[in-house]
Amino acid sequence: MKKVALITGAGQGIGEAIAKRLHHDGFAVALVGRTLDKVEAVAKEIQNDHGDAIAIQADVAERDEVFAAVQKAYDHFGDFNVMVNNAGVAPTTPIFEVTPEVLAEAERINVGGTVWGIQAAATMFKKLGHSGKIINASSQAGMTGNPNLTVYGSTKFAIRGITETTAKELADDGITVNAFCPGIVVTPMMNDIAQQVADKAGKPFEWGMEQFAKDIALKRLSQPEDVAGCVSYLAGPDSNYMTGQSLLIDGGMVFN
Ligand SMILES: NC(=O)C1=CN([C@@H]2O[C@H](COP(=O)(O)OP(=O)(O)OC[C@H]3O[C@@H](n4cnc5c(N)ncnc54)[C@H](O)[C@@H]3O)[C@@H](O)[C@H]2O)C=CC1
Ligand SMILES: CC(=O)C(C)=O
């Protein structure tokens, strides 16, 4: 029987690439989105490639919806093995523009969504009486400070902390918890960030992207598939003896 992976935010960008990569790795995949249209389209592509995929609607900030999504994945496929807490939002907020609303929303989705995803997946693994893997989306912005990303960066630093903490809590149940930390990935999120930073400075989009891209040692932006390849490793057996870790996939940006 195929192993089952659930990926949140799988309708576009990194989540879509992870879903397709895990399908190619032999997983049945449950694709979760805040609305159904995009995840249904990606699920259809995977089904047309002889894959097992379902689309599930859930807002990851809502605990009950995340638990229901995991239950639906299990009910449909008959097992549950890997949870990828990928969904996230990225407000661009210079420090003087941070409001309680912006802070609360990013916390609800990025931090809340990760906590509920870990709870729901670990509850299911324990119920099924077997091990499991939980993989959380942090960022290079969760490893070093990025100007204008105060709120976003705080959630991504938090996700690394949650990863380390829950890895220790859940190890006795045979559950591993790791994080991936992409650098600058060409997705709708990153294009939005670059545009907003450029708009605030009265500069063109290319200038906005350059603010993030100029320190990449490998001298190219990354594609969602670069990230998906590393998540494939975290979801597969070669990472079985690894837990509580944050895998940096930034082309040599943060520490060069
Ligand atoms: N693009 C980049 O350069 C980087 C992205 N990341 C992280 O990788 C993850 C994926 O990012 P991208 O693919 O670039 O973003 P994206 O914005 O292109 O895709 C994110 C997906 O998550 C969904 N989503 C957002 N809030 C949700 C909610 N409450 N419930 C369910 N789904 C929700 C969105 O609808 C969207 O489909 C995010 O956690 C992001 O913070 C980390 C480092 C760099
Ligand atoms: C979006 C993001 O995580 C960046 C710029 O690191």
Phi, psi of 168 (to 5 degrees): -75, -40
Ligand with an atom nearest the CA of residue 222: 1
Q: What tens digit of pLDDT does each residue of 15-72 get?
A: 999 999 999 999 999 999 999 999 999 999 999 999 999 999 999 999 999 999 999 9
pLDDT of 191: 96
Q: Could you give the CA distance from residue 12 to residue 41 in angstroms, rounded to a whole number?
A: 10
* Residue 256 scores a pLDDT above 80: no
Average pLDDT over residues 109-129: 98
Average pLDDT over residues 189-202: 93
The model's confidence at residue 254, banded by pLDDT at 50, 70 and 90, is confident
pLDDT of 52: 98
- ipTM surpasses cut 0.85: yes
* Residue 87 scores a pLDDT above 80: yes
Residues 6+ apart with CB under 8 A from 159: 110, 111, 114, 136, 137, 138, 142, 179
pLDDT of 150: 96
* Residue 84 scores a pLDDT above 60: yes
Average pLDDT, the chain: 97
For a substitution probing ligand 1, which of 187, 192, 197, 226 has the most ligand atoms within 8 Å of its CB?
A: 187
> For the chain, what percent of residues have pLDDT higher than 70?
99
pLDDT of 251: 96
Ligand with an atom nearest the CA of residue 18: 1
For a substitution probing ligand 2, which of 110, 139, 209 has the most ligand atoms within 8 Å of its CB?
A: 139
* Residue 97 scores a pLDDT above 90: yes
Average pLDDT over residues 79-91: 98
Give the position, in ligand 1's atom list, of the atom nearest the Cα of 141.
43
Nearest CA, atom 3, ligand 2: 139
Pocket of ligand 1 (CB under 6 A): 8-9, 11-15, 33-34, 59-61, 86-90, 109, 113, 137, 139, 182, 184-185, 187-190
Is 241 considered catalytic here?
A: no
pLDDT of 114: 99
Residues 6+ apart with CB under 8 A from 115: 162
What are the structure tokens assigned to 138, written together?
Answer: 């942090």
Ligand with an atom nearest the CA of residue 148: 2
pTM: 0.98
Q: Could you give the CA distance from residue 166 to residue 182 in angstroms, rounded to a whole number?
A: 21
